[in-house]
């Protein structure tokens, strides 16, 4: 009996994951398509061309990794990378990936990150979360605005703050955030935030949301700092 229930639950989760897989692959596809479009127009200098090609390859590699991750959930044989890495570097990387998307929508990205913010997790999973949050922020500013990304320390935690000056959400809308398939967008899937929330939870972290209609939204991610970071500090 218990086995049956577990099986049913797993099948349901697998169904949801299949849908979110499609969503996660669509993000990199959008980015790579944007780059190819720019290349086709042929107005880029050699240096920019090389940069965009490199970023496209990275995005394709990331998609491949996402698929592998989901498959490893379906067939439990995980090859998760669990390493200590610099959050600021990750943010810079993802900001680079999303920059053409922001430019197209007249969104300015501002970034202030402290040095040496280390967490222990799978870096590609944090990238996935950041892409989702940055993309949501940019999509919330249809007439342009500012996406501000800050990272620093609070006690033994690394804090990542993502703010937009977009359409914001009412209390009711904020409450719906995180339910699977909740979307207010024409071609949205309502899975990006749910997946992000689950990934952060799996890293023993938290995400807080504060939003005000027509003013903007703030997401605050808190992750346990890696031990390494504590070395320089008095016990």
- Binding site residues, ligand ADP, CB under 6 A: 132, 136-137, 140, 164, 166-169, 177, 182-185, 188-194, 217
How near is the Cβ of 155 to ligand ADP at its closest, in Å?
26
How near is the Cβ of 33 to ligand ADP at its closest, in Å?
17
| DSSP state for residue 55 in the 8-state scheme | H
How near is the Cβ of 133 to ligand ADP at its closest, in Å?
7
- Please choose which of Mg ion, ligand ADP, none residue 117 contacts, taking the beta carbon within 5 to 8 angstroms, the exact cut-off set by kind: none
With respect to Mg ion, which residue has the nearer C-beta, 88 or 192?
Answer: 192
Residues making contact with Mg ion (CB under 5 A): 136, 192
- Please choose which of ligand ADP, Mg ion, none residue 111 contacts, taking the beta carbon within 5 to 8 angstroms, the exact cut-off set by kind: none
- Please choose which of ligand ADP, Mg ion, none residue 152 contacts, taking the beta carbon within 5 to 8 angstroms, the exact cut-off set by kind: none
How many Cβ atoms from other residues are within 10 Å of residue 184's Cβ? 11
How near is the Cβ of 131 to ligand ADP at its closest, in Å?
10
How many Cβ atoms from other residues are within 10 Å of residue 59's Cβ? 19
Please classify residue 9 by burial: count the beta carbons closer than 10 Å to its beta carbon, then call 0-12 exposed, 13-18 middle and 19+ buried: exposed
- Please choose which of Mg ion, ligand ADP, none residue 123 contacts, taking the beta carbon within 5 to 8 angstroms, the exact cut-off set by kind: none
- Please choose which of Mg ion, ligand ADP, none residue 185 contacts, taking the beta carbon within 5 to 8 angstroms, the exact cut-off set by kind: ligand ADP
- Please choose which of Mg ion, ligand ADP, none residue 145 contacts, taking the beta carbon within 5 to 8 angstroms, the exact cut-off set by kind: none
Q: How far, in Å, are 83, 178, 201, 202, 222 from residue 206 at the CA level?
A: 19, 13, 6, 9, 5
Instruction: Name beta bridge partners: 217.
Output: 164, 211
How near is the Cβ of 132 to Mg ion at its closest, in Å?
6
Select the residue whose beta carbon is closest to Mg ion and give its number.
192
Cα–Cα distance measured from residue 53 to residue 47, given in angstroms and rounded to the nearest whole number: 10
Cα–Cα distance measured from residue 113 to residue 27, given in angstroms and rounded to the nearest whole number: 24
Instruction: Report CA 136 to chain centroid distance, whole Å.
Output: 9
How many Cβ atoms from other residues are within 10 Å of residue 224's Cβ? 16
With respect to ligand ADP, which residue has the nearer C-beta, 103 or 181?
Answer: 181
With respect to Mg ion, which residue has the nearer C-beta, 192 or 216?
Answer: 192
How near is the Cβ of 16 to ligand ADP at its closest, in Å?
12
With respect to Mg ion, which residue has the nearer C-beta, 52 or 101?
Answer: 101
Q: List all residues 6 or more positions away from 104 whose beta carbon is below 8 Å from its beta carbon.
A: 34
With respect to ligand ADP, which residue has the nearer C-beta, 78 or 170?
Answer: 170
Q: How would DSSP label each residue in 104-167?
A: HTTEEEEEEE-S--EEEE-HHHHHHHHHHHHHHHHHT-TT-EEEEEEEEEETTEEEEEEEE-S-
């Amino acid at each position: 009996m218990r086995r049956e229930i577990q099986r049913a639950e797993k099948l349901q989760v697998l169904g949801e994951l299949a849908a979110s897989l499609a969503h996660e692959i669509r993000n990199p596809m959008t980015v790579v398509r944007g780059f190819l479009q720019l290349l086709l127009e042929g107005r880029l200098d050699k240096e920019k061309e090389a940069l965009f090609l490199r970023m496209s390859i990275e995005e394709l590699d990331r998609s491949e990794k996402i698929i592998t991750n989901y498959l490893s959930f379906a067939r439990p044989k995980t090859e998760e990378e669990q390493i200590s890495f610099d959050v600021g570097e990750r943010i810079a990387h993802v900001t680079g990936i999303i920059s053409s998307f922001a430019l197209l929508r007249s969104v300015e990205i501002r970034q202030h990150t402290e040095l040496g913010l280390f967490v222990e997790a799978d870096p590609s999973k944090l990238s996935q979360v950041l892409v989702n949050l940055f993309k949501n922020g940019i999509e919330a500013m249809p007439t342009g605005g500012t996406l501000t990304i800050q990272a620093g320390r609070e006690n033994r935690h690394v804090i990542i703050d993502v703010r937009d000056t977009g359409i914001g959400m009412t209390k009711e809308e904020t409450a719906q955030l995180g339910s699977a398939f909740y979307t207010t967008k024409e071609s949205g899937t309502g899975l990006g935030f749910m997946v992000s929330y689950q990934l952060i939870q799996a890293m023993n972290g938290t995400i807080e949301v504060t939003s005000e209609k027509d003013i903007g939204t703030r997401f605050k991610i808190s992750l346990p700092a890696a031990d390494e970071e504590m070395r320089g500090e008095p016990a």
